[in-house]
């Protein structure tokens, strides 16, 4: 039998953020059934919300609505839902009758900690087990934690949870907060722990939490299958269960959990992405909401240290939520730099005016169709400009960089003084002889893909009066990993490929509407994601 520690699996709730809460009826029932067989102590089946519910979604209006997913044979498992105080009217909740979930977890932000108390009382009055889930316990001072606990003691919930919302805890933080909770919380109330894996600490912290509470409190550890959850995800159910089985003598049935991973979680990974990454480490280090990171990672070529700077700049309070307008302003302020580049433009105009230009972007087609590229150079003698890399298929007359990460990678390998290099003014280029152009002049700030390098170069070529422009390697995203780029060293994990292509296509269409030049633009290689737009708009 299980001892003082309990596992609360919240895959169907925390994992739901990744798939618009739409697991599908078959998956919901299959996951619940497997968790019951595995002996999960608590199974969280979804959210209570005022809207957004429907067949196949883990969102419910009330107990009657959720009851269709609660099996008749529950084993030892109890069932929970999470109610976000700001998104659920407690007047919608029906009285507990034993046919649906057993417990409601009340979730609230720090500034709602007083207003949520009547909400919590109502949950208990309706007969449900109550869990109190304060968002971002790291955002509370010690005195504020004690005050919150004093108010919670008056309600006497079943459990009070330590929630590491932004994945920013170290073990010393957990020990400090648990000590405050344990010494002030009524002895009959359990203590829970909900962690996010931004800094790869979730599993270790959950194990530490079980050690801390042993002999003092009944503990409840939140976890998800495969660690499924927004951003870096959560404590993996299978890892904490294996620890509890092999080291502490618990009797969870591991084969059932493994079957769930094979049968459901692997398929879910094909629909969405989660797990540790460098950007989510930055989110954890700055206690920042993961949506800030998701927004910034869509920026072309942004570096982890750029994210650190922007998150630091917007401030501790603002980065716990997400304000995309604020992020956009700070991002543009960060990269915006203006210079007087009139001499540089005139020098380029003397070389490029009226000349055909072959623009080689780093897409795979530039390599796959090398013969066509070389024929074009032989027959038309264009000025060759490589974008954000040095093309291997031919020699380049110029390299053009507006992506700081790509420039750093190239500059770290090349010190040749004779390579003519053009950079935009947002790029640190100390130690390299470059033609520097104003980023402000070339960028369109109202568009979130303002810094797409190909578009910036197209605008430059219009400014200097270039002739026909030929595009090679401007393929877009969506190929399988290892096949997006001409240079394998440029490969990164591409996500949201369809959205990226759509945004770039929108920016390309805007370029054609507003372009200053009249020379034709033609696609030389590849089945580009932008072929139709270029063929339609790029004629003289």
| Average pLDDT over all residues of the chain | 89
DSSP run (H or E) holding 83:
strand 78-84
What is the model's pLDDT at position 134?
98
3-state SS, 185-243, equals CCCCCEEEEEEECCCCCHHHHHHHHHHHHCCCCCEEEEEEHHHCCCCCCECEHHHHHHH
Find out whether 66 and 100 touch, Cβ atoms under 8 Å. yes
The dihedral through the CA atoms of 530, 531, 536, 540 has a sign that is positive
pLDDT for the residue 487: 65
| Contact (Cβ atoms closer than 8 angstroms) between residue 403 and residue 453 | yes
Identify the CA nearest to 230 among candidates 274, 296, 199, 265.
274
- In this prediction, residue 16 carries a pLDDT of 96
| Structural domains in the chain plus CATH codes | 5-269 (3.20.20.70), 278-335 (no CATH), 342-537 (no CATH)
For 73-94, how does the pLDDT look when each residue is reduced to its tens digit (9 = 90+)? 999 999 999 999 999 999 999 9
Higher pLDDT, 50 or 288: 50
Whether residue 393 contacts residue 373, with contact meaning beta carbons closer than 8 Å, is answered with: yes
Q: Note the pLDDT tens digit of each residue in 157-196.
A: 999 999 999 899 999 999 999 999 999 999 999 999 999 9
Query: What pLDDT is recorded for position 447?
Result: 44
CB 108, CB 134: distance < 8 Å: yes
Q: 7-16, 149-158, 236-245, 271-280 — which is least confidently predicted? A: 271-280
Q: What is the pLDDT of residue 446?
A: 44
Residue 402, SS3 per DSSP: coil
Q: At 127, phi and psi to the nearest 5?
A: 100, 5
Tokens of 285: 């280090």
At 448 the pLDDT is 45
Residues 6+ apart with CB under 8 A from 35: 9, 11, 43, 77, 256, 260
Q: Tens digits of per-residue pLDDT, 281-311?
A: 877 778 888 788 878 877 766 777 788 778 8
> Which residue bears the tokens 């009797």?
251
Q: How many residues does the chain have?
A: 540
Beta-bridge partners for 381: none
Q: For residue 494, is pLDDT > 70?
A: no
H/E element, 36: helix 25-38
pLDDT per position as a tens digit, 28-46: 999 999 999 999 999 999 9
């Amino acid at each position: 039998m299980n001892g003082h520690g309990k596992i609360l699996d919240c895959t169907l709730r925390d994992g739901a953020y990744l798939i618009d809460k739409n697991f599908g009826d078959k998956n919901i029932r299959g996951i619940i059934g497997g968790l019951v067989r595995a002996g999960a102590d608590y199974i969280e089946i979804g959210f209570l919300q005022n809207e957004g519910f429907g067949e196949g979604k883990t969102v419910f209006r009330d107990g009657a609505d959720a009851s269709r997913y609660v099996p008749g044979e529950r084993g030892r498992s109890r069932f929970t839902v999470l109610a976000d105080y700001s998104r659920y009217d407690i007047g919608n909740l029906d009285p507990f009758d034993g046919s649906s979930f057993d417990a409601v977890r009340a979730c609230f932000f720090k500034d709602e900690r007083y207003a949520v108390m009547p909400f919590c009382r109502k949950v208990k009055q309706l007969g449900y087990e109550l869990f109190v889930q304060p968002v971002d316990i790291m955002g509370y001072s010690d005195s504020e934690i004690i005050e919150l606990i004093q108010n919670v003691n008056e309600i006497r919930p079943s459990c009070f949870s330590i929630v590491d919302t932004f994945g920013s805890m170290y073990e010393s933080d957990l020990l400090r907060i648990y000590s405050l909770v344990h010494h002030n919380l009524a002895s009959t109330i359990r203590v829970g722990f909900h962690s996010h894996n931004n800094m790869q600490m979730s599993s270790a912290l959950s194990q530490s939490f079980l050690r801390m509470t042993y002999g003092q409190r009944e503990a409840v550890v939140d976890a998800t299958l495969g660690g499924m959850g927004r951003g870096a995800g959560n404590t993996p159910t299978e890892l904490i269960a294996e620890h509890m089985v092999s080291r502490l003598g618990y009797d969870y049935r591991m084969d059932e959990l493994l079957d769930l991973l094979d049968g459901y979680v692997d398929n879910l990974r094909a629909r969405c992405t989660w797990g540790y990454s460098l950007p989510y480490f930055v989110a954890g280090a700055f206690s920042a909401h993961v949506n800030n990171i998701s927004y910034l990672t869509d920026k072309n070529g942004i570096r982890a240290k750029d994210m650190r700077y922007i998150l630091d700049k917007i401030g501790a309070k603002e980065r716990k939520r997400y304000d995309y307008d604020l992020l956009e302003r700070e991002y543009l302020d960060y990269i915006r730099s203006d210079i007087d580049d009139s001499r540089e433009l005139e020098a380029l105009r003397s070389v490029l005016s009226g000349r055909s230009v072959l623009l080689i972007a780093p897409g795979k087609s530039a390599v796959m169709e090398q013969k066509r590229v070389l024929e074009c150079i032989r027959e038309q003698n264009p000025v060759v400009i490589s974008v954000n890399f040095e093309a291997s298929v031919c020699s380049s007359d110029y390299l053009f960089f507006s992506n700081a990460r790509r420039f750093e990678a190239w500059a770290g390998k090349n010190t040749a003084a004779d390579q003519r290099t053009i950079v935009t003014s947002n790029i640190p280029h100390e130690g390299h002889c470059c033609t520097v152009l104003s980023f402000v002049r070339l960028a369109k700030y109202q568009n979130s893909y303002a810094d797409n390098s190909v578009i910036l170069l197209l605008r430059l070529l219009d400014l200097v009066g270039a002739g026909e422009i030929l595009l090679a390697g401007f393929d877009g995203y969506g190929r399988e990993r290892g096949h997006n780029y001409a240079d394998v060293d440029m490969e990164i994990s591409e996500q949201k490929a369809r959205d990226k292509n759509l945004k770039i296509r929108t920016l390309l269409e805007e370029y054609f509407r507003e372009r200053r030049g009249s020379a034709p633009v033609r696609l030389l290689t590849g089945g580009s994601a932008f072929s139709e737009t270029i063929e339609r708009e790029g004629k003289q």
